[in-house]
Structure 1
Amino acid sequence: MSKGTQAISKFFKLKIFRLGFLWALISGALTSLTLYSKDLFFLTWVSVVPLCYFLIKNQKSAWKCFGLVLLWALTYYFILYTWFFSLHPLTIMDFEYDQSLRAVLAIWFSISIAQSLQMSLVGLAYGLIKPKGIWSPLVLGALWVVLEWAQGYGPLAMNWGRLALSQYNFTPNIQSASLFGSLFITFLLICVNGLIALFLWRLFNQRIPQKSLLIAAASILIVNMCFGYIRIAVVNSSVKKAVSTPIAAVQVDFPSKEKWEATQSEIFYKHYDLTLEAIGEGAKVILWPETTIITSLDDSLYYAKLKDLAVENQVALFIGALYEDENDNSYNSLYYIDYLNDDYQIYHKRQLVPFGEFIPFEEYLMKFKALQKFNLFEDTMTPGEGAVVFSSPYGKFSGLICFDSLFQRFSYESAQNGAQAIFIVTNDSWYIDTPSIHQHYGHATLRAVENNRFVVRAANAGISGIISSTGQTIQQLPVHENGYVLYDVPLINRKTLYTITGDIIAYVAIAGALGAFVYFRLLKNLNIFNKKTKEVINQEEI
C-alpha cells in the first residue's frame, strides 16, 4: 500500500467515520437532494456509498442493517416529501388554517414513516442473507429493486421516490430503461454504489486496494451511458420515417384553490378558445388536462358543444372530466370524442390518490371526523380497470391520468395493446411551483423511454409538454402559463424489450435474493460443501 493510500486510510478511520448512523443520515439527505435539482443527477451514483459501506461493515447483525437503512430512508423521504406543505392551506376541503397545517403535517409524517419502514426491509433482508464479496452489491441491488417494485402495489401504493427519477434530465443515462424498465436503472445505481463501497471497505479494513471493483463500477457507468447515446441516435433516425399526427396539449393556469371555486363555464371556454387556436394552426388531436370538466361530461351541455367542435373541424378531442355510471359510481376519466362516432369512448383512472380521491381502509379511518374531509369530491372515486386504447382516424392512443403515470405497468400495458403514443393528463396546480411538479414530469419521461413512445402531457397550470421516445422534451409550456404545445407526433408501433417482458426484472430479483439466501445461509450452514469449496467461500469473506 502506497503512502498516499495509507494516509487516506488513516483519515477514514477517524472516529467520525465510524458513526454508521450519522453517515446513513447524510447519505439519505444527499440522495434526496438529487430529486430537487436536475443538475445533481451524477450524485446518485455515489450518494448511497456511505450506506452501502456500513451495511457491509455491519452485515453480521441483521438488526443493525435494518436500522441503517431505516435512518437512510427517514432522511430521504422526509426531505423528498416536503412538497406536501404546498397543499396547505386545505381550504377547499373546508379545513380551518390550523386544522389544515396539522393535517398536512400528519400526511407528510405518515407517508414518510410508512415508506421508510418499507425500505428498511431491504436492510433486514440484506443482514439475513449476509452476502460475501462481489455478491454484496448485486444482492443489495436486487433487494432494492424488489422493494421499489412492491411499493407500487396495495392501497397505499406510492412510486414517487424511485432512484431512477434522479436521472431523467440526463437522457443518455435512462435509455437502458427500454430494456428492463426504470427498475433496471435503480439496480445499476445501487450496484455502482455498492462496488465503490466494497472497494473502500477492503482498502481501509483489509488494506487491499482492489482496483478491479472500481473498474467494474466505472464500466457500468460508461457502458450504460454509451448505450444511451447509441440508442438516442438510432431511435431519432428511425422516428423520422414514422407517420406523424399534429397533436396539441392545452394548458390553462387555474390554481386548484381557484379552479374549484371558478364557474365551470369560465374554465370550459378558456380551454375551448385555446383549442380553436390550436385547430387554426393545424392540430388534429387536442388534449385537455385532468378534470377540466368537474361534472359528469356526458350529462352536461358541454358534451354537445365539444361534439360539434369535433365534427365541424374533423378533429379528435381528449377531455379530462368526471363520469358517473348507472350504479352511481364516480370516476376520474378521460373522454375521447371524434367526428366519426356518434358516441364517446372513455378511460377511467386506475391508481387513485389516497386521501384525495378515496380513503384507504375506509371502514376504520372514516371513524375519525377529520379524515372524513379528505376527499375532493362529493363521492369516493371508483378505480378503473384495464388499459384502454382509443382508435382514432389519426392513430391509436392510450391515456393515463395523473397518479397513473407513476406506475410503469399501466404504460407498458397500453403499449402492449397497440397504443402508438401515450397521453398523460394531470392537475399539478396543487404543488404551485415546487420541485414536485418537475418530479412528476420526470416520471412521464421514464414512461416514454420504457415503451419507445412519444408522450403528450396536458397539465392544469403546468407542466404541459411533448416528450420524445428517447425522453427528450421537444416542446414545453412553463408553469402558470396559458397556451398549448403543438407538434407532429410520430406514431410508433415498434415495441421495446421492456414493453414485451414487463417487470420481469422484479421477478428475477426476487429469485436472485432467494437464491442468495439459500446459498449463503442454508447450504453453507448444512456443511454440504467439500473442504476446497469452503476454502473458496472463506476467501470471499469480507
Structure 2
Amino acid sequence: MVDLHARRNLRTVCSEVLVLLVSAFIYSIAFPGLLSANGIGFVAMFALIPVFAVIRNTTWKLTPIYGFFYGFMFYLFFNYWLKTFHPLAILIVPIIKGGEMLLLFPVLKAAQKLFKKYGYLVEALIWVAYSYLSQDWFAGYPYGTLGSAVYRYLPLIQISEIFGIWGVTFILVMPQTFLGVYLYRWYHDREYSLKGYLKEHIAFIIAYGAALLATLIFGFASMAYWKAQEPDKTWRVATIQHSADTWEGGYTTYKRNFNTLRKMSLEALKEDPDIILWSETAFVPSVAWHENYPSDPATSALVEEFVEFGKSLPIPLVTGNPEGVIKDPSKPALGEDGSWNRTDYNTVIFFEDGRIKNTYRKQHLVPFTEHFPYEKQLPWLYNLLLANDYNWWETGYDPVVFETEEGVKFSTPICFEDVFGYLNADFVSNGADVIVNMTNDGWSKAVPAEMQHLGLAVFRSIENRRTTVRGTNSGMTCVIDVTGKIVDPMAPFTVGYHMYDVPVYSGEVHGTTFYTRYVDWFAYLTVYLSAILLVGGALYRLYRYVTNNRQKP
C-alpha cells in the first residue's frame, strides 16, 4: 500500500506550482486568446484535471496561496488584452480573481477531506456555485466561465434553455473533478490502473454517461425543432460598423465619426432596411445635456445636426449616446469655479416618427471603470482610480423594451450587459422578442477580446430562445440565432455596414423558456447544496470525533 501522504519537500512544491502555471495557460487557450481567435474549446474538457489533483495533494497552508496564484495567472493569460485599456486594469482583474480563488481552493479541499470517496461530486457543485457567485457581486466578471469555452459546440449547450450556462459548466467540470482523484492517486501509485478506478465508480460512470447522452439528444432535438420553426416575422436590420478609435476624442473626432455613420446609414437605406443600428456611444456628445444646457457652440451645433438627422430618417435609428443630467438640482449647471454640475448615464436612444421615442439606461456597469460604490469605505482606491482617468456612470434600473411601429419589441443590453443571463432574461420577461446588443470593444484592439465577449453572448440567445443582433463599433457585429449559431459576422476592425434579416420569435407565439421563467435556478441550487453538504459534512465529522473520544477509556 503506497502512502498517499508521503513527506513533502521543496521539489514537491515546485512541481505543484509548475503544474498550476501550465494548467492556467492550457485552460486559457480553451477560450479565444493568444493561440486562437476562436479558442480551442475541447481543451476546457480536461484542462482543470491537474488543478483538482494538486489541491488534493497539497497542504492546507499552501491551498489558499495556490488558489491566488492560479487565479492570477489564468486571468493574466486569458485577459492579456486588458493592458490595452490601462496598465492598472491588467492588475486589478487578476488580483480580484486570484482573491476569489484564494477562497475557492480551500473550500474545494474541504470537500475532498469531508467526503472521502465521493468528494469529486461535491467539488463539481462547488465549482459551479463559485462560477455563479464570482459574477454576482460588485466586481462580478463572467469572462472565463468554463461553459463559455464551448460556445461553438452547439448540441452540447442547448441545455442552457433549462439550466443556463451553469448546466453546461457542470457537465464539463464533473468528469474533471472525478479524474482529478485518479490523477492524484496515480501520482502516488503508478501501478494504480484507470480501469480499476472506473470499475470502482461504475455507478458514477453510468449516471454521467446517461446525463451526457441526454444532453446531446436534447441538443440535437432542440436544434432540429428550432430550425423547423417559421419566425413570426423577419426584421431587416442595417448594422453600421464605423470602427472608430475609442481612444480619440474631441470635436473633430466626433464630427468625423458622425459623418461616417451618416454616410453609411444613407447607403444602407438604399437596401430597404426596417431599422438602422449604431453601436454603444457611437455619437458621443450628449443630446440630453446639450439640448438643455448648450455650452460649446460647435458641439451644440453638431448635436443639433445629429438629432435632425435621426428625426429625418424614414425608419427608426437606434444608437448609443451618453445622457447628461444635472447632478445636484439645487445648483446651476455651471458652477462658479467653471465646473459642470453634471452626471451621466450610458444610454441608448431610439428615434422613430421624427422624434426621440424612448431611451434605455445601462443597468449593469463595468466595475472600477464605470462604477465604484466604495468611495467612503476605500477612499484610497477611489482616488487612485480617478487619478488614472477612470470616470463613473450612473446606474439605470429599468429593463426597457422598445417597440417599433411595425410591432417589433426589442431591448438593448449595452456592451457587457449581454454576458449576464439574469439581465437578458429580465428583458425577455418584460416583453422583448429580440435582443439587440450595443457594444464597443474597439478599445481592446484585440479580436480575441471581442470573441470572448461574443462567446458569452451566444448563451443569451439559447437561454431565452430569442435572436440576438449585435451592433458594434468594430466587432463582433453579427446575428446569433435561437440555437446559438453565429450568423455572418462582419470582419472586425473594418468600416462598413451589413444587412441582416433577423428572425423574430414573439413571446405570444413561442412563450418563454424554463430558464427565462426561473433565472439561474440551477446556480442557486448548487450554491445551497454546496453549503448544506459542507456544513453537514463538517458537523458529521465533529459528531464522529466527539463520539469516538467519549468511547476511549
**Which category describes the TM-score, using the shorter chain as reference length?**
0.7 to 0.9
Q: Residue 376 of structure 1: CA displacement?
A: 6.1
- 1:131 Cα deviation from its structure 2 partner: 4.2
Query: What is the alpha-carbon distance in structure 2 between the residues aligned to residue 485 and residue 526 of structure 1?
Result: 67
The 3 A distance-change label for structure 1 pair 430 and 18 is closer
Q: Map residues 182-201 of structure 1 onto 2, 5 A cutoff.
A: 182-201=165-184
Pair 1:109-2:91 in alignment: yes
Whole-angstrom distance in 2 between the partners of 1:181 and 1:427: 25
Mapped pair 1:225 → 2:216: yes
* In 2: Cα distance, 1:519 partner to 1:244 partner: 54
Q: Which residue of 514, 518, 525 maps to 1:501?
A: 518
Taking the aligned partners of 1:369 and 1:343, their CA distance within structure 2 comes to 37
Among candidates 403, 406, 417, match of residue 391 of structure 1: 403
**Aligned-partner Cα distance in 2 for 1:177–1:233:** 16
Q: Secondary structure at the match of 1:329?
A: strand
How has the CA–CA distance of structure 1 residues 39 and 382 changed in structure 2, closer, same or farther, with 3 Å as cutoff?
A: closer
Task: Find the residue that maps to 1:455 and give its secondary structure.
Answer: strand
Deviates further, 115-124 or 420-429: 115-124
Contact 1:66 1:123 in 2 (8 A): yes
CA contact (8 A) 1:151 1:158 kept: yes
Q: Which residue of 1 aligns with 2:22?
A: 26
Are residue 170 (structure 1) and residue 160 (structure 2) matched?
no
1:517 equivalent in alignment to 2:534: yes
> Closer, same or farther in 2 for the Cα pair 1:156/1:47, shift >3 Å?
same
Deviation at 1:225, TM superposition (A): 3.3
Question: Partners in 1 of 2:274 and 2:546 — Cα distance?
Answer: 69
Change (3 A) 1:69 1:396: same
**1:359–1:365: 8 Å Cα contact kept in structure 2?**
no
> Aligned-pair distance for 1:236?
1.7
Question: Which residue does the alignment assign to 2:332?
Answer: none
Unmatched runs of 5 consecutive residues or more in structure 2: 1-10, 292-302, 328-341, 549-553
User: Residue 345 of structure 1 aligns with which residue?
Assistant: 358
Name 1:272's counterpart in structure 2.
262
Contact 1:317/1:336, CA 8 A, preserved across alignment: yes
Shift of 1:444: 1.5
Question: How far does residue 267 in structure 1 lie from its aligned partner after superposition?
Answer: 1.3
- Kindly provide the CA deviation profile for residues 151-204 of structure 1, in whole angstroms up to 9, marking residues without a partner as x: 223332222221122111222222221111112222222112112223444566
Q: Deviations over 1:362-384 (max 9, x none)?
A: 3444688663244466xx31111
Work out the CA distance in 1 between the residues paired with 2:198 and 2:186. 7
In structure 1, the gaps of 5 or more residues are: 1-14, 88-103, 532-542
Contact 2:114 2:541 (8 Å CA) reproduced? no
Matches within 5 A, 1:469-488: 469-488=482-501
Alpha-carbon distance in 2 for matches of 1:515, 1:359: 33
Report the Cα offset of residue 429 of structure 1.
Answer: 1.1
> Structure 2: which amino acid aligns with 1:32?
S
**C-alpha spacing 1:25/1:283, structure 2 compared with 1 (3 Å):** same
SS at match of 1:344: strand
TM-score when scaled to structure 1?
A: 0.83
Counterparts of 1:248 and 1:126, CA distance in 2:
49
CA contact (8 A) 1:131 1:139 kept: no
Contact 2:411 2:435 in 1 (8 A): yes
In the TM superposition, what is the alpha-carbon distance from 1:21 to its structure 2 partner? 3.1
**Structure-2 change in CA distance of 1:489 and 1:519 (3 Å):** same
**Superposed counterparts of 1:344-423, under 5 Å:** 344-359=357-372, 361-363=374-376, 364-365=378-379, 371-375=385-389, 380-394=392-406, 395-423=408-436
Question: Contact between 1:62 and 1:126, CA under 8 Å: does it hold in 2?
Answer: no
CA–CA separation in structure 2 for the residues paired with 1:81 and 1:22: 20
Deviation, 1:262, is 3.9
Identity %: 23
Q: Distance in 1 between matches of 2:544 and 2:446?
A: 60
Aligned mates of 1:257, 1:233 — CA distance in 2: 45
Aligned amino acid, residue 106 of structure 2: L
1:329 aligned residue:
343
Amino acid at match of 1:331: Y
Alignment of 1:453-472 (within 5 A): 453-472=466-485
Q: Is residue 2:278 matched to residue 1:288?
A: yes
* Contact persistence 1:389–1:398 (CA under 8 A): yes
| 3-state secondary structure, aligned to 1:357 | coil
Displacement of 1:149 in angstroms is 1.6
Q: Is 1:234 equivalent to 2:222 in the alignment?
A: no
Aligned residues: 493
Asked whether the 8 Å contact 2:29–2:39 carries over to 1, the reply is no
CA distance in 2, matches of 1:124, 1:528: 21
Q: Matches of 1:263 and 1:23 in 2, distance apart? A: 48
Q: Post-superposition shift, 1:480?
A: 1.7
Q: 1:25 to 1:397 in 2, by over 3 A?
A: same
Name the CA distance, whole Å, in 2 between partners of 1:376 and 1:529.
55
What letter matches 1:122 in structure 2?
A: L
Structure 1: 4+ residue segments shifted above 6 A: 15-18, 366-369, 528-531
Tell me the equivalent position of 1:308: 311
Secondary structure at the aligned position of 2:81 is classed as helix
CA-atom RMSD in angstroms: 2.9
